[in-house]
Structure 1
């Protein structure tokens, strides 16, 4: 188990050190349950109340905290402690326990090119023409399809599926069950379908006859930039003709579905259970809240924020914060919701007024 002195942590992360820098810690914990060799994470005053219940000798605190008043031997402080947690958690991460080297049960095509220090776990399949960058770790039961590329320093957890003709940048992380490069959901009928009629008529016309669905093959691939993380059981479909494109630094939570031809800009965050329909464009620095959805062929502008469970049915301007179904400006949605909550009282008031008017006019 790796351990560090609080002085080493402060130096590595650029934190302010208070007290005895020689105190050694081998992990982190919540204040009330921290052992003597663990750093208590008490980044707000309400969290620090639990320090007395634990055994921690050192803690991560907020700037200006009275660390001595909590009976600590040492403390680390930062202007933004939660951001400091990023570096601290990286130092304390024990890893996933993946074995190094190539497991004998892995099936690797002779034309695949693996960089230096690549690890491949049990029962993996790496197809012809695959290129894998140096230092990448591939967990058990992963599949990497024909002519695909994965950059250096990447990590594929158990059971990740990478389809054919997928290009992925450096430092990619994919959690268990993630799938990149499945075919897009593209089907067409011989005559205009009920869905096409409903869209054109805004619902006045729908399905009149049942037709068979013909499959449109996905000829494009998926292009993913650097520093992208893909949550468990998330899926990114390949493009129909051109590639589906994911920019640098994009972070996906679990159970995300990205349709064919979608483009997502750099440093966008996509929370759990989000669905993005085909050919939509998501800008740079966008946040898509959990369970939100974007209909097909739409644009969500740079820095826009979709509140949880929002459903976007029209373009969203850059910087707009939206909420609801259909999604609208958040303040307008909240005002509408307040109005809905007032409706029962309004109905009662109207009923009382009708009774009063009836009595005045003698129409009882």
Structure 2
């Protein structure tokens, strides 16, 4: 679909510069941009590639001299990446999912489907399930017994929603995501080596053979509105109470949320994050890629962790954490600088020892 530069600017709440009637039908990087596309040159370094393409219009940065760049039209947002969010939504061609219910889909007679629902090939909708109006399910999705999916959901291929899971409006799940798998809960008849290690901080283990008894997950998962789940991400059901995820949370690929976890609103959970069972996470928390959070912890509002951080203790609100074990970022950076200075320090100490030895020898 083609849009004029004026149409785009108006939709984004911005002002079009130059020839607002110029139409574009897609976006491209500056060096590969065609005459019917809008170039994303949102920094001066990116704009240097404009002469290599054929762009007539571009999204630049506030104050950019678009005429000097040889353009006929431009949009100059104060926050270009935020404007890109709206532009990408306009230009997204979608996944080509067909309307209606595919003949190969299996929909239980007791399931309730809202209006204008699209059900792709080989989907299975279980007994008592509810699918909200305007929802789209790609091929091979499964909605379990008595699960509920709010209006406007978009499930890509192979998404699995377990029994009794309740999800709010405008949920998006990328391929292979799973909501409502059983929690990882096992126990031994006697005190386990893991329990001894935790109590003794590793001073006492066991070499005895142990078998593991399964604790069934009786709870489910409740997810708020406007939540997005990445490819192959997993949210486990609770042991007795539900696992909870607040409105507006976004999960990257391969994220793992354990049983009984409670996550506040508008959190950003990056790739390969693992959150162990019964941890509580506040609002507006950002967990960087490969962050690991131990069980039964409390992470306060507005906490940020850097990549590969390992959280082993409670974190107060507003902290920025880094490292293993997690510590305040400025403290971790100072420790890292000290670690890098160790080889030189060792050489200096060796030189001092040698000098002192010579002085003692002369006496």
2:4 matched to which residue of 1? 5
Structure 1 Cα separation of the partners of residues 28 and 152 of structure 2? 28
Q: Report the alpha carbon displacement of residue 363 of structure 1 after superposing the two structures with TM.
A: 7.7
Structure 1 Cα separation of the partners of residues 346 and 63 of structure 2? 54
Q: Report the alpha carbon displacement of residue 13 of structure 1 after superposing the two structures with TM.
A: 1.0
Secondary structure of 1:135's match? coil
Q: Report the alpha carbon displacement of residue 210 of structure 1 after superposing the two structures with TM.
A: 1.8
Q: Does the 8 A contact of 2:35 with 2:55 survive in 1?
A: yes
Matched, 1:309 2:295: no
1:256 matched to which residue of 2? 255
Structure 2 Cα separation of the partners of residues 7 and 321 of structure 1? 41
1:29 matched to which residue of 2? 28
Structure 2 Cα separation of the partners of residues 82 and 296 of structure 1? 35
Q: Report the alpha carbon displacement of residue 50 of structure 1 after superposing the two structures with TM.
A: 1.0
Secondary structure of 2:353's match? helix
1:228 matched to which residue of 2? 227
Secondary structure of 2:68's match? helix
1:50 matched to which residue of 2? 49
RMSD: 0.9
Q: Does the 8 A contact of 2:6 with 2:15 survive in 1?
A: no
1:351 matched to which residue of 2? 350
Matched, 1:185 2:176: no
1:175 matched to which residue of 2? 174
Q: 1:158 to 1:363 in 2, by over 3 A?
A: farther
2:89 matched to which residue of 1? 90
| Farther off after superposition, 132-141 or 204-213 | 204-213
Q: Does the 8 A contact of 2:275 with 2:294 survive in 1?
A: yes
Secondary structure of 2:34's match? coil
Matched, 1:158 2:157: yes
1:361 matched to which residue of 2? 360
2:193 matched to which residue of 1? 194
Structure 2 Cα separation of the partners of residues 354 and 9 of structure 1? 72
Task: Provide runs of 4+ in structure 1 moved above 2 Å.
Answer: none
1:104 matched to which residue of 2? 103
Matched, 1:69 2:72: no
Post-superposition Cα deviations, 1:97-136, rounded to whole Å, max 9, x if no partner, equal 1111000000000000000000000000000000010000
Secondary structure of 1:165's match? coil
Q: Report the alpha carbon displacement of residue 72 of structure 1 after superposing the two structures with TM.
A: 0.8
2:289 matched to which residue of 1? 290
Structure 2 Cα separation of the partners of residues 255 and 154 of structure 1? 20
Matched, 1:342 2:341: yes
1:215 matched to which residue of 2? 214
Q: Report the alpha carbon displacement of residue 208 of structure 1 after superposing the two structures with TM.
A: 3.8
Post-superposition Cα deviations, 1:276-319, rounded to whole Å, max 9, x if no partner, equal 00000111000000001100000111000010000000000000
| Farther off after superposition, 216-225 or 77-86 | 77-86
Secondary structure of 2:166's match? strand
Residue pairs, 1:271-290, within 5 angstroms: 271-290=270-289
Residue pairs, 1:113-152, within 5 angstroms: 113-152=112-151
Structure 2 spans left out of the alignment, 5+ residues? none
Structure 1 spans left out of the alignment, 5+ residues? none
Q: Report the alpha carbon displacement of residue 343 of structure 1 after superposing the two structures with TM.
A: 0.8
Structure 2 Cα separation of the partners of residues 159 and 82 of structure 1? 31
Secondary structure of 2:76's match? strand
Structure 2 Cα separation of the partners of residues 252 and 275 of structure 1? 11
What TM-score do the two structures reach when normalised by structure 2?
0.99
What TM-score do the two structures reach when normalised by structure 1?
0.99
Secondary structure of 2:90's match? helix
Q: Report the alpha carbon displacement of residue 176 of structure 1 after superposing the two structures with TM.
A: 0.3
Structure 2 Cα separation of the partners of residues 337 and 72 of structure 1? 47
Q: Report the alpha carbon displacement of residue 52 of structure 1 after superposing the two structures with TM.
A: 1.2
Structure 2 Cα separation of the partners of residues 325 and 90 of structure 1? 38
Post-superposition Cα deviations, 1:316-360, rounded to whole Å, max 9, x if no partner, equal 000000000000000111111111111111111111111110110
